[in-house]
């Protein structure tokens, strides 16, 4: 018996050791995932955004500034490029572990509100942790959906034609407010012939540009709960695109695909492309040339269909530190020092205080300011197109199918049909 006991004890000791080791591993894993509060009253909040390296540098500086002012709040940061950001966010949010505070945009507000992910920040406004005063151009309303405050704008931006200035000069093209699509096509040909490169990366798969085109014609990409255009509309748009690709006024999609995530403009594949005006900041850090902004072509010589868009900060409904998160957002949108660090990276600052604090001195940012001022002066800004739940999936499909069209892998009819099938599925779920 004695021997047996000996065996037993040893066995149990060994087995126990193994289990303890296993438990230990488990415990460290949980510790990494969960704990956000320490004994001394310090709390840690997680902050995530999408963007490029350049934006990350600036944001990390602002976070340092925040931590200095609020020594009891630590901020853990994380960033990805746009599409990867949403994949990661979606997975984290579904697992009940989204970042406490994160960058957001209009296209995702309804989607994640429907999924019960977004915190209604109006409680925090009432409690005095977050001020919604002092915003420019009615921006304080941008994050409001069905009476809930789901996002706080950090800046405003608008669609523009971002151009490689020397290329435009070389081709002798001078876009002016109110130029038409015919003018635009003529300009593209000039650039192709005189500057020896495609005039545009390819406007046909940019959802936000097609939206403007539709708005110029009294329609829009989305209604409150569906698509705002017909198959025939899209057929016209993409038929024109197909011709543009064939004639070489739009860039070769094979080449564009290979240089991603770098932009085709910065990679000198095209003379310009339609995107958000604050992107010149990014292109200037990516490319060697000088980049500027040109107005959106019009249908009637007047109406551009433009509106202000906005990046926002949202909070997670699951956060254990709503107060700290509100203080963080408040600091990021109101503090003048933050504006000086960020510049126009996320658009023109949303609050008057930040707008006044940063007066651009470099040509890139100066031009963004001038562009937005010119939009106000021209009186072309209108209310934003609604973004129903599923808008993001439609945008991805539009981009992808347009690209397949550009690559010659799909006929116009086929691409249109497929887009309507996919977006109907996305918008009905």
Partner 1 sequence: MGTTVTHAPAMEDLSKDSEPRHGPVKSPRPAELKRRGRRENLAGYLFMSPWIAGFLLLTAGPMVASLYFAFTDYNLFDSPKWIGLDNFSEMFGDPRWRHSVQVTIWYVIVGTPLKLLAALGVALLLAQKRRGQAFYRAAFYAPSLIGASVSIAIVWKAIFSDDAIVDRTQKIFGVNVGGWTGDPDMIIYSLVALTVWQFGAPMVIFLAGLKQVPRELYEAAEVDGAGKLRRFWNITLPMISPVLFFNVLLETIHSFQIFSSAYIVGGGAGGNACGPADGSMVYTCYLYVQGFENSRMGLASAMAWMLLVAVALVTAVLFWSQKRWVHYEEGAS
The site string for partner 1 over 176-205 (x = CB under 8 A, - otherwise) reads: -----------------------------x
Q: Which is nearer to partner 1, 87 or 194 (CB)?
A: 87
Specify the DSSP class assigned to residue 133: -
Residue 8 interacts with partner 1 (CB under 8 A): yes or no: yes
Residue 20 interacts with partner 1 (CB under 8 A): yes or no: no
Q: Which stretch binds partner 1 (CB under 8 A): 51-59, 112-120, 138-146, 229-237?
A: 112-120
Q: Are 94 and 304 in contact (CB under 8 A)?
A: no
Non-local CB neighbours of 79 within 8 Å, separated by 6+ positions: 48, 49, 50, 51, 55, 56, 59, 85
Helix (H/G/I), strand (E/B), else coil: 408: coil
The site string for partner 1 over 55-84 (x = CB under 8 A, - otherwise) reads: ----------------------------x-
Residue 404 interacts with partner 1 (CB under 8 A): yes or no: yes
The C-alpha atoms of residue 268 and residue 354 are separated, in whole angstroms, by 34
Residue 115 interacts with partner 1 (CB under 8 A): yes or no: yes
Q: Which is nearer to partner 1, 370 or 393 (CB)?
A: 393
Number of residues forming the site for partner 1 (CB under 8 A): 47
The C-alpha atoms of residue 213 and residue 412 are separated, in whole angstroms, by 18
Residue 409 interacts with partner 1 (CB under 8 A): yes or no: yes
> DSSP string of 41-108?
S-EEEEEEEE--HHHHHHHHHHHHHHHHH-TTEEEEEEEE-HHHHHHHHHHHHHTT---SEEEEEHHH
Half-sphere CA count of 422, side-chain side, radius 13 A:
17
Residue 412 interacts with partner 1 (CB under 8 A): yes or no: no
Element (H, E) at 275: strand 272-276
Residue 106 interacts with partner 1 (CB under 8 A): yes or no: no
Q: Which stretch binds partner 1 (CB under 8 A): 37-45, 85-93, 305-313, 357-365?
A: 85-93
Q: Which is nearer to partner 1, 253 or 298 (CB)?
A: 253
Residue 122 interacts with partner 1 (CB under 8 A): yes or no: no
Residue 407 interacts with partner 1 (CB under 8 A): yes or no: yes
Residue 410 interacts with partner 1 (CB under 8 A): yes or no: yes
Q: Which stretch binds partner 1 (CB under 8 A): 54-62, 227-235, 330-338, 401-409?
A: 401-409
Non-local CB neighbours of 394 within 8 Å, separated by 6+ positions: 207, 221, 222, 227, 422, 423, 426, 427
Q: Which two tokens stand for residue 126?
A: 């009432």
Q: Which stretch binds partner 1 (CB under 8 A): 86-94, 334-342, 352-360, 362-370?
A: 86-94
Q: Which is nearer to partner 1, 257 or 377 (CB)?
A: 257
The C-alpha atoms of residue 3 and residue 369 are separated, in whole angstroms, by 86
**Residue 339: exposure state from Cβ atoms within 10 A (0-12, 13-18, ≥19):** buried
Closest C-alpha among 374, 364, 191, 172 to residue 272? 191
Among 9, 15, 127, 301, binds partner 1 (CB under 8 A): 15
Residue 223 interacts with partner 1 (CB under 8 A): yes or no: no
- Least Å from the CB of residue 26 to partner 1: 9
Q: Are 103 and 50 in contact (CB under 8 A)?
A: yes
The C-alpha atoms of residue 195 and residue 163 are separated, in whole angstroms, by 13
**Residue 347: exposure state from Cβ atoms within 10 A (0-12, 13-18, ≥19):** buried
Residue 394 interacts with partner 1 (CB under 8 A): yes or no: no
- Least Å from the CB of residue 387 to partner 1: 16
- Least Å from the CB of residue 260 to partner 1: 4
Residues that bind partner 1 (CB under 8 A): 3-4, 6-8, 11-12, 14-15, 18-19, 22, 25, 83, 86-87, 90-91, 93-94, 115-117, 205, 253-258, 260-261, 393, 395-400, 403-404, 407, 409-410, 418, 426, 429
């Amino acid at each position: 018996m004695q021997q047996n006991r000996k065996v037993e004890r040893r066995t149990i000791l060994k087995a126990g050791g193994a289990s303890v080791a296993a438990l230990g591993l488990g415990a460290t894993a949980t510790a990494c995932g969960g704990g956000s509060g320490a004994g001394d009253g310090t709390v840690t909040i997680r902050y995530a955004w999408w963007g490029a390296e350049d934006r990350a540098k600036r944001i990390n500086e602002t976070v340092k500034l925040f931590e200095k002012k609020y020594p009891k709040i630590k901020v853990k940061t994380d960033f990805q490029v746009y599409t990867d950001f949403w994949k990661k966010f979606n997975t984290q949010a579904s697992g009940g572990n989204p970042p406490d505070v994160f960058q957001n945009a209009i296209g995702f507000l309804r989607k994640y509100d429907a999924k019960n992910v977004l915190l209604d920040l109006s409680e925090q406004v009432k409690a005095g942790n977050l001020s919604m005063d002092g915003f420019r151009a009615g921006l304080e309303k941008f994050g409001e959906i069905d009476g809930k405050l789901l996002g706080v704008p950090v800046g405003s931006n608008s669609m523009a034609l971002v151009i490689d200035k020397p290329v435009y000069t070389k081709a002798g093209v001078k876009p002016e407010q109110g130029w038409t699509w015919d003018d635009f096509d003529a300009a593209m040909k000039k650039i192709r012939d005189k500057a020896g490169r495609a005039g545009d990366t390819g406007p046909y798969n940019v959802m936000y540009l097609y939206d403007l085109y539709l708005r110029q014609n009294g329609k829009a990409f989305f209604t409150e709960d569906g698509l705002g255009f017909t198959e025939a509309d899209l057929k016209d748009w993409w038929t024109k695109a197909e011709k543009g690709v064939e004639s070489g006024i739009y860039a070769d999609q094979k080449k564009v695909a290979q240089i991603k995530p770098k932009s085709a403009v910065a990679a000198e594949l095209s003379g310009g492309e339609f995107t958000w005006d604050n992107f010149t900041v990014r292109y200037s850090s990516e490319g060697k040339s000088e980049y500027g902004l040109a107005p959106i072509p019009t249908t009637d010589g007047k109406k551009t269909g433009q509106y202000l868009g906005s990046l926002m900060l949202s909070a997670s409904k699951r956060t254990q530190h709503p107060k700290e998160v509100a203080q963080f957002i408040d600091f990021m949108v109101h503090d003048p020092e933050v504006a000086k660090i960020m510049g126009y990276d996320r658009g023109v600052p949303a609050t008057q205080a930040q707008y006044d604090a940063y007066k651009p001195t470099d040509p890139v940012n100066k031009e963004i300011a001038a562009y937005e001022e010119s939009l106000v002066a021209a009186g072309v800004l209108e209310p934003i197109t609604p973004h129903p739940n599923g808008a993001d999936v439609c945008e991805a499909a539009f981009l992808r199918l347009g690209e397949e069209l550009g690559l010659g892998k799909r006929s116009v009819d086929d691409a249109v049909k497929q887009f309507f099938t996919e977006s109907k599925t996305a918008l009905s779920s």
